Structures are given as structure tokens and as C-alpha cells.
Amino acid sequence: MRGLQSSAAGSRRAGRRSGIGGPSSGVSHASLDKYLHSLPAGDWSGGDHHRHSSLATRICFQNVNGLPENGSDFKQQQINSWLKEERVGIALLAEAKTFWPSINEGHGWSDRLRQATMKSKQKGFYSSVAYNRHQDRSAATSAVQWGGCIATVLNQVAHRAKEAGRDPTGLGQWAYVRLQGRKLKAHGGNVQDSLVEVNDLVCGPISKDLVVVSAYCPNKQGLSRSTVWAQHRLHFHAVNRKVWIAFVDNLCKQIIKWRDEGCEVVLGIDANEDVTVNAPQSIRHRFRACGLEEAI
């Protein structure tokens, strides 16, 4: 349950694109740390990022608008500082813009997370990275590839991770991590010795897991052949599927599967449309039909 939000909290959750940049990215630099510290403190339940409860897990979603190829790059150091100083437990990132097999050894996502968690008392991380595995890279001169997502759980939360994965299409539509949840008791039993009957099979205690998902919905068709829309259109052309419909159908199918297994789902998505609109053909309407109720 969420408490009342301050105006500062509402501003941070308004779905802005990333202002993180650095000298090597060619984008004007706006420090996320300076931005956060410039905001007035809000209420404790969700607005004041300076305060943190040991009983709470902080989850953040951010369109990072591209990660640098070098793990020691200034922009990556900013992200590491953000994860540490904000004590982020679950980080959902969209538009990593990285074809990870082209990244030099020692600069992969796992290498970068070791820097962000090395001083934590309960250091650790568990991640899933999603990128387009089908794109022809024969003419590529860098590791840049538009799109892609990352789902990462850090430190204490990482010890609850039980599974990670990505969209079955291999296009980098979404990445997810599944976390061990509360054990469910059988009638009249306890967690330790209860048995649950599923489809006439007796198995051990089951749990109400949490699945955290980072997703990026392709933007409307543009002129460039390297856009996420163009990548997906090339892939789906052979089976005559429309890009937006294919993305939403695939993700909704997976969400329904998770919920049928008893999971709670938290989706962080750059939808490239106004998620406050609940029109019949809107992405919000589709997600509500899958059981996702609250758009923050």
C-alpha cells in the first residue's frame, strides 16, 4: 500500500527520460545526484529519498538512454553512485542501447555491478540483460544497439532471487528477475511441513513470488533503420505481425502466466505513450486486463 505522495515524489515518478549524461556520451550532462538533492524532502512513505527504512525495499525504474561501452566511463560511475547512495534494491533500466557480446572483457554488466556493491555488508547482485540477439552485426563499428532492458536486484534483495530471464523472442523486449516470496501454508498445516496438491501431484510448500520486469515498448515508426521499431519490424515481417501488437501480446501472455502461478508482478516500462489513458486500444487497458492495476 502506498501512502500519500509529496509533489517531489510525484515529479520523480512522472516518467521522465534520463538526464544522465557524460563527456563521452555526447549528451549535455545533468547530474541525477544534484537533481535529487535539489528537490524538497517529501513524506516518509515515498517522497523523501534521503530516508530509508530497513524494512523497505527501494525499487527504481529509469530510461538510461544508453550505457557507455567502457565500465569506467563517467556516466557509468554516476549510475553506480546512484545505486549505492539511494540504496536501490531493485533497479529496472530501459534503453541500455548495448549489444553486450561486443563489450570488452571486464566491462560487462556484472563487472560494473561489482563496483556498485563491493562495499555493501550484504553485497551481491542478480541480473538479466535483454538485447536483440537476431540483428546482423557484421557491419557494426561499435557496441551500440538501440533498445534493450536490464533487471537487477542488489545486495540483500539479491539473496531472494531464484530465476532471471528475458523475452522469448530474443529481441530485448523485456528482462525480469523472480524473487522468492512468502511461503503459503496448506490448510491446518505450517510452512515447514505443509504439502500442497497441484494437478493431483503432492509437492512441497509453494510461495507467492514477486516478479520484477523492465520493458521497453518500441516507439512509432521512424526513418532510421536502426531504431527498435525497425529491428522488430524486420523480425516480425516473416510472420506478418505488427510491432506494437506483437510486443503487447507477448508481454501480456507472460504476465498472465506469472499471475496464474501465484506471482505478484511489478512492471517498469517505457511505454512510449501516456499510461494514464485508459482507452480500449491503450497499453494501460491491455495491462489492466492482465491484472496490473496501479500505474504510478
**What pLDDT does 170 receive?**
95
**What pLDDT does 157 receive?**
93
Report the distance separating Cα 187 and Cα 201, nearest Å. 16
**What pLDDT does 40 receive?**
62
- Checking 225-230 for CB contacts under 8 A at 24+ apart, the result is 226/145, 226/146, 227/146, 228/146, 228/147
Please list the rounded mean pLDDT of every run of 10 residues in the chain (296 residues): 42 46 44 62 55 82 96 94 90 97 95 78 86 93 96 93 95 96 63 42 64 94 80 80 91 95 94 88 92 79
**What pLDDT does 118 receive?**
66
pTM of the model: 0.77
Single out the residue of 46, 44, 43 nearest to residue 12, CA to CA.
Answer: 46
Q: Is 106 left (phi over 0), alpha (psi -120 to 50) or beta?
A: left
- Which domains are delineated in the chain? 21-34+56-289 (3.60.10)
Under a CB-based contact definition with an 8 Å cutoff, are residues 22 and 70 in contact? no
**What pLDDT does 294 receive?**
76
**What pLDDT does 293 receive?**
82
Residue 142 identity = S
